[in-house]
Structure 1
Amino acid sequence: MRLFTALVFFFFVEHANAQFHQPVFPGQEGQQLLDNLQGAYKPQWVLSNFTNDTIYGKIYREPDDSLRCVYTGYTVYLTPGQDPSQTAFSANINLEHTFPKAMGSDSGLAEDDMHHLHPSRVDVNGARGNLPFGEVQDSQADAWFFMDQTQSNVPGAQIDLYSEVINNDRFEPREDHKGNVARAMFYFYAIYKEQADQANAAFFEAQRETLCQWHFADPVDSLEWARTFLIAGFQDDKPNPFVLDCTLPERSFCQGLGLSCDPPSNYDPELDLPFDAFFLHPNPGDRLVRLELVMRKKAEVTLELYDATGKKVDEMAVGEKTPGAYTLHWENKLLPSGMYWWKLILGTESGALSTTRKMILQH
């Protein structure tokens, strides 16, 4: 279990206002907000026959044709032209229902709604099963999962890159997926509450406060933002609103917990955002990492790299870039394994905008 120090927490809060943001029902809260979210964002149709192929082959497929387990970083290669579902399953990858089937996602739109579906190692998916999410004390964990490995002892290094489980009790995903889990769970319960409550009315509430902590500690990055709109294209053009607006949880499921984000004011990403994409490959990486940037408008580009304490450990002054696609190369010479954050800063005529992207180094 990762213990967030105050310094790390303030680092995340500071960078929360740099994330993408699209206001959703501003000024509304409580049941009124939840009712409106369900009315506006519940898709009228989703894929049914091709959900797995779409998740593996389009939503989570990397540009190098790799597919990664969200809980462990375990990566497989998808041969172009071959069935992605067959390839993934033969390589020990299947589909994780973040909100478990037994807890309400076993039928109807909920079963195939891709906003809560992720690729996972088969055995890790099985270990999670129907367990609620939660923080696991390291000394109490029955199993730890990383890449293609499973172990019962506490890892000696790179502990944040492991998922862990207490059998028959709770499951804790690796640190870089906790916010994604929270926003998927919030989405499902907001959209399919009646179905979830019929299965087990206590399931969501038992983990609600933990999910709130994870949402604010691990804000949306550019990849999660891009994926929610990619999924929307296959689901009635409905993105996950909890990805769009970081204030939704504090106005709905997380009221009274003293948690909040500080989104940028007067910010319309469709009008002001000077870039269309910002990705890192490979991620996790080792010595050489490519930073892929697609510019929409002319801007002065700077990249800053921060470690988990919020300390700036590297910087790249890229210079002015005009609309187009760019590949930047970063070589790691000194930094140890762990979790880092690239901050992309774009200077435009209307001011400076920035966003962050998580990077994992594995040696």
Structure 2
Amino acid sequence: MKKNYSLLLVLLTTAVFGQIPANYYNTATGTGYALKTQLHNIIDGHTDRGYAGLYVTYTTSDKDFYYENNGTLLDIYSEIPSGEDSYEYTYGSDQQDDGSLGTAEGQRFNREHIVPQSYFASALPMYADAHFIVPTDKYVNGQRGNFPFGKVNMATLTTTNGSKKGANLNSGYSAGYTATVFEPIDEFKGDVARMILYFVTRYQGQLSGFYSSTNVSSTQSKAMFDGTEDHALSNTFLNILLTWHANDPVSQRELDRNNAIYRRQSNRNPYIDHPEYAAQIWGEVAGLNTFAANTVTVYPNPAVNHEVNIYSESPLENIEVINLNGQLIQSIQKPQATSNAYIVKNLSQGFYMLRATSGNQTVTKKIIVN
């Protein structure tokens, strides 16, 4: 569906941060695994609304008010951000999963555990935690199965929106794994990453038990994890997730979803509220470009008054704005920062890639100017 951006949406982009409860993260003062434990203590013990209650939660957390803006189900495996979807689902209709069909796309939707439920033997409260369970097409959910998320090399399955299944690309940031993975489209890669980071933080203290459980019928769902409580994720998949977290920044949809789930469960995803926490906890792992995955944030996005701010913990040497045709629109050499923040002004309406360079490291962010 085509994206619809309005002045109201732009205003919400900046205002929604105020919906984080006062003092919610006051005790999150550490770094490394100490910070992860502090975050666990903050989000632990959420209200369990039950597995059936997920469908109630979805009516406020997972409707499309961001693309076609028609209130239909927002499915990360069928949503086409730049055009019309091949099919849509409406809550409360017979399209909801009733135990039938699901032999092709567009027949039914159900509940997708981003961390497969076999990993924790379908136990509560994990089984019904909306922060990492999303409504998706039943057929695609079944095709994804227990496979971990990764970077597909040669696809054996491609969904109508371009999500893929196939052997992992054992190269670059996804090096270290060769078996089958599932890859969402770029629009939702960061969403998936932050859901998994939430999981390993919320359920710290139980992860080793999940990992060693004889109830896990497949090693596929274990591939992303290392069996520890603190590090939690294998280096290969941590690199993948942190790269996705960096390259696909928090969206308005995620902010709204986080708030909606908080109203139902009384806990939040800290990596949506504070994306910088990811790097403060895991830092540089197995050669990860921490400059890209950790230190650069662009806001507000969509831009306000034709300008955006860039926050970077590392000094930037160059900022480039590139349009969708690959043309260089602006190049700012040795930009000046105030409290690690840079301003890019005089942006015309459109979609751009913003490229920031520090030393020999570069990160690219997508930005929208209304």
Taking structure 2 as the reference length, what is the TM-score of the superposition? 0.59
How do 1:126-137 residues align onto structure 2 when only pairs under 5 Å count? 126-137=142-153
Q: The residue matched to 1:234 in structure 2 has which SS?
A: helix
Structure 1: distance between partners of 2:75 and 2:127: 20
Show the counterpart of 2:219.
none
Of residues 67, 75, 78, the one that matches 2:73 is: 67
Structure 2: distance between partners of 1:132 and 1:222: 26
Structure 1: distance between partners of 2:282 and 2:42: 18
Q: The residue matched to 2:78 in structure 1 has which SS?
A: coil
| Alpha-carbon distance, 1:307 to partner | 3.3
How do 1:136-215 residues align onto structure 2 when only pairs under 5 Å count? 136-137=152-153, 140-147=154-161, 161-166=162-167, 169-200=180-211, 203-204=224-225, 205-206=233-234, 207-215=237-245
Of residues 35, 38, 49, the one that matches 2:37 is: 35
Can you list the C-alpha shifts for 1:111-170, whole angstroms capped at 9, x where unaligned?
A: 111110112121211121111111111xx32111124xxxxxxxxxxxxx4333339621
Of residues 240, 257, 270, the one that matches 1:227 is: 257
CA contact (8 A) 1:105 1:196 kept: no
Structure 2: distance between partners of 1:255 and 1:20: 30
The gaps in structure 2 that reach 5 residues or longer are 1-13, 80-85, 102-106, 169-178, 213-221, 226-232, 309-321, 330-348, 355-365
| Alpha-carbon distance, 1:253 to partner | 3.0
Matched, 1:45 2:47: yes
Of residues 36, 59, 80, the one that matches 1:57 is: 59
Q: Taking CA–CA contacts closer than 8 Å with sequence separation of 6 or more, which of the two structures ends up with the larger relative contact order?
A: 1
Matched, 1:307 2:309: no
Structure 1: distance between partners of 2:328 and 2:75: 29
Taking structure 1 as the reference length, what is the TM-score of the superposition? 0.60
Can you list the C-alpha shifts for 1:267-325, whole angstroms capped at 9, x where unaligned?
A: 9xxxxx9xxxx99xxxxxxxxxxxxxxxxxxxx8559995385867xxxxxxxxxxxxx
Percent of paired sites with the same residue: 21
Structure 2: distance between partners of 1:358 and 1:123: 36
| Alpha-carbon distance, 1:30 to partner | 1.5
Q: The residue matched to 2:30 in structure 1 has which SS?
A: coil
Show the counterpart of 1:218.
248
| Alpha-carbon distance, 1:96 to partner | 0.6
Query: In the superposition, relative to structure 1, how do residues 125 and 49 fare at CA in structure 2: closer, same or farther (>3 Å)?
Result: closer
Count residues in correspondence.
Answer: 260
Can you list the C-alpha shifts for 1:53-95, whole angstroms capped at 9, x where unaligned?
A: 224422112352311321232542426x657745898732111
Structure 1: distance between partners of 2:369 and 2:158: 22
How do 1:8-23 residues align onto structure 2 when only pairs under 5 Å count? none
Can you list the C-alpha shifts for 1:242-270, whole angstroms capped at 9, x where unaligned?
A: 00111111011344434122358xx9xxx
The gaps in structure 1 that reach 5 residues or longer are 1-17, 148-160, 268-272, 280-299, 313-331, 344-354
Can you list the C-alpha shifts for 1:188-240, whole angstroms capped at 9, x where unaligned?
A: 0111133333222653223111101110111101111111011110002x210
Structure 1: distance between partners of 2:113 and 2:126: 10
| Greater share of residues in strand | 1
CA contact (8 A) 2:254 2:272 kept: yes
Read off the aligned partner of 1:35 and give its amino acid letter: T
Q: The residue matched to 1:166 in structure 2 has which SS?
A: strand
Show the counterpart of 2:88.
76
Structure 2: distance between partners of 1:19 and 1:135: 34
Query: In the superposition, relative to structure 1, how do residues 196 and 306 fare at CA in structure 2: closer, same or farther (>3 Å)?
Result: farther
CA contact (8 A) 1:115 1:228 kept: yes
Can you list the C-alpha shifts for 1:165-187, whole angstroms capped at 9, x where unaligned?
A: 33962111111111001100000
